[in-house]
Structure 1
Amino acid sequence: MGLSDELLLIGAGEPIPLPDGSDQTYPFRAHSEYYYLTGIDLPGGVLAFDPRQHSSNAWVSFVADVTEAEKMWEGRTEGVGTPVSRLEAWLGRRRGRSIINLGAQLRGVRSDEGDIVRVREQFTHARRSKEELEIGLLRRAAAATAAGFSTVRQHIASGVTERALQIELEAEFFRHGADRSDMERLSARDQTRVCCIFPRAPRLNATSST
């Protein structure tokens, strides 16, 4: 991506609280740039890149620390990677160097907007070329989507609710290996764009913190 000295940080994002003042949040979806490179769909993560490091140590995946309460109430497990609590020390050893923040905006990180636009454009261009693994996932997703719509057509009848059709549609998606669907993001004007989401494998083998 044309980096020589700048540090690259890609944030996963944080859960967004519901507006009712409770401790509940909207369903979390990691930022697509972070998820594309890591395959991790969990909040609080940061993928860091230092172009000065040798290729085997250039990428470091920092993952959020999981509290006992989160383990108990949310069923969350420890992610594979370096605890995000070590990110500050990682940056401290590289003090004075420019930082480019892709993905979700990270608190306290300042980046030049021109650099962000430039690197994001290069990153987006790099994503257009698909590897065999990605092509295979796309084909599986297309097959699962087709199976879901084929099944739901058999259940369309007078008196059948949209909710009942959603259950049949998503169940067929999941039977064909889907991780989730985008039903919750649909609006009443966008009912033709239902798709299923497959979990992706990480594109990088990030190391522990150095």
Structure 2
Amino acid sequence: MLISPAVYAERRARFFQALGGAAAVLPAAPLVTHHADCEWPFRQNSDFWYLTGFDEPDAVALFLPHRPEGERFVLFVNPKEPSAEVWNGFRWGCEGAVAQFGADLAHPRSELAQRLPEYLSGAEGIAFRVGKHAAVEPLVLQAWAGQLDRAPRSGAAALGLVAPCPLLHALRLRKSPEELDRMREAARISAEAHELARQVARPGLNERQVQAVIEQHFLEQGARGAAYNSIVAGGDNACVLHYTSNNAQLRDGDLLLIDAGCSLNDYYNGDITRTFPINGHFTGEQRALYELVLAAQEAAVAAVAPGQTAEGVHETAVRVLVQGLVDLGLLAGEIDGIIEQGAYRHLYMHRTGHWLGLDVHDVGAYRLGEHHNALEPGMVLTVEPGLYVSDRLAVPEGQPAIEDRWKGIGIRIEDDVAVTEHSHENLTASALKAPAAMER
């Protein structure tokens, strides 16, 4: 069920409180040209969406805690215009911005330059992200400059220009119950797609055919589409972390790594990775590495709890991986020394996860200065250790050369995990990952 207007209103109330006496100017995303006169499918700016739920381009939202009640949430939008709508589709217009999206006032976007200085007058500061919104930034700076020019006579001007991001991203980091419900839905659809992919994959298919099955399911289930470029990587392709060519033939005896998730119509995302044998049977080396990655992933998931940190989750996975790689002869030395020196990074070179929400790599700080942010209920992160055995990175001095029997094996296992009051919830547990389930 879509998030209700009341939830957006509650978010705005919390944002007003965080702003204090500053006014915020948040532009929507523009349309982006793909080629010639064709645009990419529209994707709203996540910060703008979080506070408004308004899914049209080129709008601008003003948040004005210094203004009287009834003038604090103002939207500038493209007005209703039949000649434009017949080409590009329905617009809510100014009336819809008020009636459907809770704006106190709404004006045509063309009036922003005229009205902005008056709306910002009296604010103690202006919260605006410089360097990201070329069409709006000159208007904000001009309005602020006008205040500064009048300050000797009026005795009042906004004291400074600040970024709204830290305030807003701190709010977005902790998901509400309504958001968690949407993320469970994204996780459900994404997990079903992975199960379908494993059923259809077989030697001789092209990676792209498996991608088509996954993304068809996303659309059939009512999602907007893929949350990011799906990775469907057979064999050695899985050792390329951001492989998206997805055009190679699946080979008998190789593994298939699939990193794919859907994005819902209100932009909440799933992000799952599974790895399995294309012919239904692990080789000895594949199973050994798969079981090691799974053990690291399960240990890291188990570590997710209030008071833990994302860094602690990563360290848990690294320790399990390094110990297992030493046992298998792919690393040599004392565990602590290998970790301290980073001598495992030719086999595991990325972090174990990231925040997840309206953005796949969602906003929010992992640390403040020297201190890592503690996990709190409502935070959602991915847990995704992996191993990638290839010749792409040099083996560190003192570490054993890699035997050919290990090369070309790339494995990652990823789940979406929400921090709960006392522990965690694995949102993507319905995507199977036990070794027996990966075979057929």
User: CA distance change for structure 1 residues 195 and 34 in 2, over 3 Å: closer, same or farther?
Assistant: same
Alignment match of 1:7 (pick from 20, 23, 26) = 23
Conserved in 1, the CA contact under 8 Å of 2:79 and 2:91? Answer: no
Preserved contact between residue 147 and residue 173 of structure 1 (Cα < 8 Å): no
Instruction: Establish whether residue 197 from structure 1 lines up as the match of residue 263 from structure 2.
Output: yes
Against the structure 1 CA distance between its residues 200 and 161, is the aligned structure 2 distance closer, same or farther, given a 3 Å change threshold? Answer: same
Equivalent position amino acid for 1:127 in 2 = R
Partners of 2:162 and 2:120 lie apart in 1 by 18
Tell me which of 110, 116, 119 is aligned to 1:85. Answer: 110
Q: CA RMSD in A?
A: 3.1
Q: 2:226 maps to what in 1?
A: 181
Q: Is the 8 A contact 1:9 1:101 kept in 2?
A: yes
CA distance in 1, matches of 2:241, 2:218: 22
**Inter-CA distance 130–148: structure 2 relative to 1 (3 Å threshold):** same
* Alpha-carbon distance, 1:66 to partner: 5.5
CA distance in 2, matches of 1:71, 1:161: 40
Matched with 2:211 is 166
Deviation string 1:68-125 (CA, Å, 9 cap, x unpaired) is: 4542333343353123234334323235554322495224123899611xx3112111
Overall identity of the aligned pairs, in %: 23
SS in 2 for 1:94: helix
Q: Which residue of 2 aligns with 1:127?
A: 172
Which residue among 138, 143, 155 is the counterpart of 2:183? 138
Higher relative contact order (CA 8 A, sep 6+): 1
Q: 1:23 aligns with which of 6, 22, 37?
A: 37
Q: Which amino acid aligns with 2:242?
A: D
Q: Which of 52, 58, 66 does residue 38 from structure 1 map onto?
A: 52
The answer (yes or no) to whether the contact 2:126–2:161 under 8 Å persists in 1 is no
Give, in angstroms, the shift of residue 52 of structure 1.
1.6
Decide whether the 8 Å contact of 2:127 with 2:161 is kept in 1: no
Shift of 1:179: 2.1
Q: In the alignment, is the contact (CA less than 8 A) between 2:226 and 2:262 conserved in 1?
A: yes
Amino acid at match of 1:181: A
Partners of 1:200 and 1:186 lie apart in 2 by 23
The answer to whether the 8 Å contact 1:33/1:102 transfers is: no
Give the Cα–Cα distance (whole angstroms) in 1 for the partners of residues 54 and 231 of structure 2. 23
Matched residues in 1 for 2:47 and 2:86: separation? Answer: 29
- SS of the aligned residue for 2:110 comes to helix
Displacement of 1:163 after TM fit? 3.2
Consecutive unaligned residues in structure 2, runs of 5 or more: 1-14, 98-105, 145-158, 233-239, 244-257, 268-440
Deviation digits for residues 170-202 of structure 1, max 9, x if unmatched? 22223333222135476974354422111339x
Match of 1:154 in 2: 199
- Does the CA contact (< 8 Å) of 1:12 and 1:43 recur in 2? yes
Determine helix, strand or coil for the equivalent of 2:197: helix
CA distance in 2, matches of 1:60, 1:93: 12
C-alpha distance 184-71 of structure 1, shift in aligned 2 (>3 A): farther
Q: Which has the larger radius of gyration?
A: 2
Output the CA distance in 2 between the equivalents of 1:197 and 1:136.
14
d(CA) in 1 for partners of 2:69, 2:222: 34
CA distance in 1, matches of 2:263, 2:206: 24
> Which residue type is aligned with residue 221 of structure 2?
H
Contact 1:8 1:102 in 2 (8 A): no
Retained in 2: the 8 A contact 1:11–1:102? Answer: no
Q: Partner of 1:47 in structure 2?
A: 61
Distance change in 2, residues 1:46/1:73 (3 Å): same
Letter in 2 for 1:199: N
1:94 to 119, 126, 144: 119
TM-score normalised by structure 1 residue count: 0.76
